[in-house]
């Protein structure tokens, strides 16, 4: 599992924002109790390697060639191509960036509060550590099936061209970004229950961004959510995670009391999320 974890993050963070952004949170981790890195900019998760959910054991194989499930995947992929160049496409490109501090703001509009190393330091570090665990949970099935991605078959652009080379060597099934986004949505909805509907809706959209981006199939996204949920279920057995979750709730309450605004452009996000692909004939 250690090899799989490293392989996953070799892709994810080489394809993300870059070393400067990733390094920005490392000093905060030290201040928050010296959480070690498993590679530059990537914090150690909460789960020991033997406790990370095994996607190769939990998931069925991806849709078989010629099956109805594969046809549905292809129909949905074609429909999402119509969003190229739209605001939804731009948001999908932003969602593709797993680098911190940029990724910390992905749920700030849904939360109605900023998520930064300065304003919510325990929450900031928690999201980074949950990302490690939720991403690692997808590694076994990715390696086992090596499922080809949509852009590799349809030769159409993606919303993250700088990531394409790395994506070609990382199996499509299940979606690691979706697992991470859904795990974030679940833990944030616990930290901020009054905003849970908006948070979960944003988590769903985060996974759907992978369809808009032309880098994942619908089946990848569905099973990515499953692995994100499996990861969060396991995290609830970890006292360190539970302590950080409680602290995150207090931080968000304090941020709202100060009337601190989200760091992202919430008007743009709302408009982008209102754009949907046309229905397949």
- Grade residue 60 by pLDDT with cuts at 50, 70 and 90: very high
Catalytic residue among 177, 202, 225, 244: 177
Quickly tell me which residue has 């986004």 as its tokens: 181
Q: Identify whether 61 is part of a domain.
A: no
Answer whether residue 90 is part of any domain.
yes
Q: Is residue 281 domain-resident?
A: no
Q: Is residue 180 scored above 70 in pLDDT?
A: yes
> Mean of the pLDDT values across residues 34-54?
95
CB-based burial label for 160 (10 Å; 0-12, 13-18, 19+): buried
CB under 8 Å to 114, separation ≥6 — which residues?
105, 108, 120, 255, 260, 261, 262, 263
| 58 falls within a domain | no
Q: Which of 70, 67, 5, 91 is nearest to 42 (CA)?
A: 5
CB atoms within 10 A of CB 276: 13
For residue 135, is it within any domain? yes
∠ Cα 184 103 240 (to 5°): 45
Cα separation, 133 vs 234, in Å, equals 10
Chain-wide mean pLDDT for the chain? 90
Active-site residue identified among 147, 202, 216, 225? 216
Q: Judge whether residue 87 has pLDDT over 90.
A: yes
Contact predicate 138/176, CB 8 Å = yes
Which of 1, 16, 6, 25 shows the shortest CA–CA distance to 167?
16
The yes-or-no answer on residue 177 being catalytic is yes
Extract the tokens encoding 261: 């605004």
Q: Is residue 59 part of a domain?
A: no
Domain of 194, CATH number, reads 1.20.144.10
- Name the percent of the chain lying above pLDDT 70: 87
pLDDT of residue 218: 98
pLDDT band of residue 83 (cuts 50, 70, 90) is very high
Is residue 149 part of the annotated active site? The answer reads: no
**Options 88, 128, 210, 225, the catalytic residue:** 210
Average pLDDT over residues 241-246: 98
Q: Are 182 and 229 in contact (CB under 8 A)?
A: yes
| DSSP state for residue 37 in the 8-state scheme | E
pLDDT of residue 25: 43
236 is an active site residue: no
Give the pLDDT confidence score for residue 279 in this predicted structure: 62
What's the pLDDT band for 33 if we cut at 50, 70, 90? low
Confidence class for position 36, pLDDT limits 50, 70, 90: very high
Residue 13 has pLDDT above 50, yes or no: no
Q: Is there a domain that residue 156 lies in?
A: yes
Q: What pLDDT digit, counting tens, does each position of 114-160 carry?
A: 999 999 999 999 999 999 999 999 999 999 999 999 999 999 999 99
Strand boundaries in the chain, DSSP class E: 37-39, 42-43
Cis, bond preceding 174 (omega within 30 deg of 0): yes
Q: Is residue 271 predicted with pLDDT exceeding 90?
A: yes
Q: How far apart are CA 192 and CA 32, in angstroms?
A: 21
210 annotated active-site: yes
Distance CA 89, CA 96 (A): 11
Kindly state whether residue 52 falls inside one of the protein's structural domains: no
Query: How much is the average pLDDT of 209-233?
Result: 98
State residue 34's pLDDT score. 84
- Give the number of domains in the chain: 1
Those residues whose C-beta lies under 8 Å from the C-beta of residue 68, and which sit 6 or more positions away, are: none
Range of the structural domain that residue 142 is part of: 2-45+70-273
């Amino acid at each position: 599992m250690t090899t799989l974890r490293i392989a996953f993050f070799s892709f994810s963070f080489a394809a993300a924002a870059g070393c400067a952004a990733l390094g920005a949170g490392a000093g905060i981790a030290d201040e928050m109790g010296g959480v070690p890195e498993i590679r530059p900019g990537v914090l150690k998760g909460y789960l020991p390697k033997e406790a990370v959910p095994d996607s190769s054991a939990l998931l069925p194989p991806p849709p078989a060639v010629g099956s109805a499930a594969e046809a549905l995947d292809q129909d949905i992929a074609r429909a999402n191509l119509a969003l190229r160049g739209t605001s939804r496409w731009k948001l999908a490109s932003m969602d593709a960036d797993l680098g911190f501090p940029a990724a910390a703001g992905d749920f700030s509009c849904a939360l109605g509060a900023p998520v930064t190393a300065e304003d919510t330091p325990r929450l900031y570090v928690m999201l980074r550590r949950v990302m490690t665990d939720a991403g690692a949970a997808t590694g076994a099935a990715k390696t086992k099936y090596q499922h080809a991605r949509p852009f590799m078959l349809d030769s159409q652009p993606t919303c993250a061209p700088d990531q394409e080379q790395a994506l070609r060597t990382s199996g499509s099934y299940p979606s690691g970004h979706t697992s991470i986004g859904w795990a974030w949505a679940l833990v944030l909805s616990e930290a901020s229950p009054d905003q849970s509907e908006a948070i979960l809706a944003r988590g769903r959209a985060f996974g759907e961004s992978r369809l808009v981006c032309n880098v994942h199939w619908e089946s990848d996204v569905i099973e990515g959510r499953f692995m994100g949920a499996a990861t969060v279920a396991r995290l609830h057995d970890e006292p360190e995670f539970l302590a950080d979750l409680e602290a995150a709730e207090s931080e968000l309450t304090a941020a709202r009391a100060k009337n601190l605004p989200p760091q992202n452009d919430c008007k743009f996000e709302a408009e982008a999320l209102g754009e949907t692909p046309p229905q397949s004939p």
